[in-house]
């Protein structure tokens, strides 16, 4: 499609608008189906690497075809928004606390969505149809960002932006507007080179080959998956309670970006740590309200308890009477899943049941 001066002017204006709305990088891509990514989704699903995840794996044909989300789709305006922050004090884990991945210290998707909504409104002003898709099962965000020239696929499967690293959330506006797209020759080249640091940095070996993640082992997924937490990965969970950043923290381009351009300080309302004892003390209703922003399997509080018990088993202080109390209480919980993970935690902490008679 020939690029008209109007399309170029509109693209320039969208870039300006996006920058003003706090979007760190913007690129344009054609809305043709992502055939290669569809192949990746289908072959990985066939090999079981999706570990039962639905998301984009539920209907790969749909999630790789933007026209399914917006009939007549021609272009994607793809944006990245940084969520990197310097941890607030204390920088080290407080006693009996679990660790939250940086993308969840606050709602990072809302400001990304708001920025993209401004671009959508500008497109609609010219009579085009437009739809915002952020972390939605209808679009493969990393593949869109890659096609729009925002970055390269790291061996940890994250999309890295040249000079800026991978601490970004990604989203798009899909539109029927004809916009200039980034030609393949202008996309950033692979920036990993010979580095392979992320592969051994994964505590469960979930990066089974460069660029290939086995969700059955990925802690970020296991914390979101229903059922029992696989026993073989419980110790590896350490203190993680939501998400996992290990393969990004090990990544040299992320470290270099932080040195060059130190991130802003976290706000007092950011939540890098969660008090696991306080969590286990909440009622089911209060638990689900308190962690409303998190993806909790089937919105069942039992899974928050399960995760907290495994994390507490790993990082809890067995001499703390409150730790003993919540673990003991969970050992007699009516839910068998909670009981089983409490037994594991008690064993790992070397606790005997307070209420059981002395041998």
Minimum distance, C-beta of residue 204 to ligand SF4, in the bound complex (Å): 5
Minimum distance, C-beta of residue 201 to ligand SF4, in the bound complex (Å): 6
Q: Could you tell me if 132 and 120 are in contact, meaning their C-beta atoms sit under 8 angstroms apart?
A: yes
Locate all alpha helices (DSSP H) within the chain, ordered by sequence: 5-20, 35-46, 60-63, 109-125, 141-147, 198-201, 219-222, 246-249, 252-260, 276-281, 284-290, 301-315, 321-331, 336-349
**Which partner from the list ligand B12, ligand SF4, none does 197 bind, CB cut-off 5 to 8 Å by kind?**
ligand SF4
Q: How far apart are CA 21 and CA 33, in angstroms?
A: 28
Considering the rule CB under 6 A, would residue 220 count as an interface residue with ligand SF4?
yes
Q: Which of 98, 115, 171, 239 binds ligand B12 (CB under 6 A)?
A: 171
Considering the rule CB under 6 A, would residue 220 count as an interface residue with ligand B12?
yes
Considering the rule CB under 6 A, would residue 213 count as an interface residue with ligand B12?
yes
Considering the rule CB under 6 A, would residue 312 count as an interface residue with ligand SF4?
no
Q: Which of 79, 148, 170, 251 binds ligand SF4 (CB under 6 A)?
A: 251
Q: Could you tell me if 55 and 137 are in contact, meaning their C-beta atoms sit under 8 angstroms apart?
A: yes
Task: Choose the binding region for ligand B12 from 24-32, 65-73, 214-222, 267-275 (rule: CB under 6 A).
Answer: 214-222
Q: Tell me, what DSSP letter sits at residue 177?
A: S
Q: How far apart are CA 122 and CA 255, in angstroms?
A: 36
135 or 320: whose CB is closer to ligand SF4?
135
Considering the rule CB under 6 A, would residue 239 count as an interface residue with ligand SF4?
no
Locate all alpha helices (DSSP H) within 35-190, ordered by sequence: 35-46, 60-63, 109-125, 141-147
CA-CA-CA-CA torsion sign (303, 305, 306, 310): positive
The dihedral formed by the CA atoms of 41, 45, 48 and 52, expressed in degrees to the nearest 10: 100
Minimum distance, C-beta of residue 306 to ligand B12, in the bound complex (Å): 16
Minimum distance, C-beta of residue 226 to ligand B12, in the bound complex (Å): 13
Secondary structure of residue 18 in the 3-state scheme: helix
Task: Choose the binding region for ligand SF4 from 133-141, 178-186, 250-258, 334-342 (rule: CB under 6 A).
Answer: 250-258
Q: Could you tell me if 183 and 131 are in contact, meaning their C-beta atoms sit under 8 angstroms apart?
A: no
Task: Choose the binding region for ligand SF4 from 21-29, 198-206, 294-302, 343-351 (rule: CB under 6 A).
Answer: 198-206
Unique residue bearing structure tokens 């917006």: 70
Considering the rule CB under 6 A, would residue 229 count as an interface residue with ligand B12?
no
Minimum distance, C-beta of residue 287 to ligand SF4, in the bound complex (Å): 24
Helix 336-349 to helix 321-331 angle (10° resolution) is 140
Q: How far apart are CA 321 and CA 171, in angstroms?
A: 46
Considering the rule CB under 6 A, would residue 104 count as an interface residue with ligand SF4?
no
Considering the rule CB under 6 A, would residue 244 count as an interface residue with ligand B12?
yes
Please report, as residue ranges, which positions from 128 to 187 form the binding site for ligand SF4 (by CB under 6 A): 154-156
Q: Which residue is nearest to ligand SF4 (CB)?
A: 154
Considering the rule CB under 6 A, would residue 158 count as an interface residue with ligand B12?
yes
56 or 307: whose CB is closer to ligand B12?
56
38 or 122: whose CB is closer to ligand B12?
38
Let me know if 135 is a catalytic residue.
yes
Secondary structure of residue 241 in the 3-state scheme: strand
Determine how β-strand 212-213 pairs with β-strand 159-160. Answer: unpaired
**Catalytic member of 20, 24, 59, 135:** 135
Please report, as residue ranges, which positions from 256 to 295 form the binding site for ligand B12 (by CB under 6 A): none
Query: Which residues contribute to the site for ligand SF4 (CB under 6 A)?
Result: 154-156, 192, 195-198, 202, 204, 206-207, 213, 218-220, 244, 246-247, 250-253
Q: Which residues are catalytic?
A: 135
């Amino acid at each position: 499609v020939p690029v008209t001066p109007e399309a170029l002017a509109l693209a320039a204006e969208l870039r300006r608008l996006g920058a003003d709305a706090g979007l760190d990088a913007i690129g344009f891509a054609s809305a043709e189906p992502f055939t290669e990514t569809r192949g990746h989704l289908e072959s990985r699903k066939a090999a079981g690497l999706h570990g039962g995840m639905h998301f984009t794996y539920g209907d790969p044909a749909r999630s790789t075809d933007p026209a399914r989300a917006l009939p007549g789709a021609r272009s994607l305006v793809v944006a990245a928004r940084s969520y990197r922050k310097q941890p607030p004090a204390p920088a080290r884990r407080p006693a009996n606390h679990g660790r939250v991945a940086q993308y969840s210290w606050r709602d990072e998707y809302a400001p990304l969505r708001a920025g993209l909504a401004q671009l959508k409104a500008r497109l609609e002003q010219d009579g085009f149809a437009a739809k915002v898709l952020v972390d939605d099962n209808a679009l493969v965000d990393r593949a869109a960002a890659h096609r729009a020239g925002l970055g390269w696929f790291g061996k940890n499967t994250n999309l890295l932006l040249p000079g800026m690293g991978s601490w970004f959330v990604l989203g798009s506006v899909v539109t029927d507007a004809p916009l200039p797209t980034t030609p393949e020759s202008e996309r950033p080249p692979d920036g990993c080179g010979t580095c392979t640091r992320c592969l051994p940095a994964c505590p469960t070996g979930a990066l089974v080959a460069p660029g290939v993640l086995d969700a059955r082992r990925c802690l970020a997924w296991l914390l979101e998956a229903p059922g029992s937490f696989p026993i073989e990965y419980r110790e590896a969970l350490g203190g993680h309670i939501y998400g996992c950043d290990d393969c990004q923290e090990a990544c040299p381009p992320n470290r270099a970006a932080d040195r060059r351009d130190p991130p802003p300080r976290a706000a007092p309302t950011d939540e890098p740590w969660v008090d696991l004892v306080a969590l286990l003390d909440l009622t089911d209703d209060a638990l689900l309200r308190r962690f409303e922003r998190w993806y909790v399997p089937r919105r069942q509080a039992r899974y928050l308890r399960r995760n907290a018990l495994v994390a507490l088993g790993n990082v809890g202080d067995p001499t703390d009477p409150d730790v003993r109390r919540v673990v003991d209480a969970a050992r007699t919980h009516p839910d068998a899943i909670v009981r089983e993970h409490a037994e594991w935690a008690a064993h790992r902490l070397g606790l005997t049941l307070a209420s059981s008679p002395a041998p």
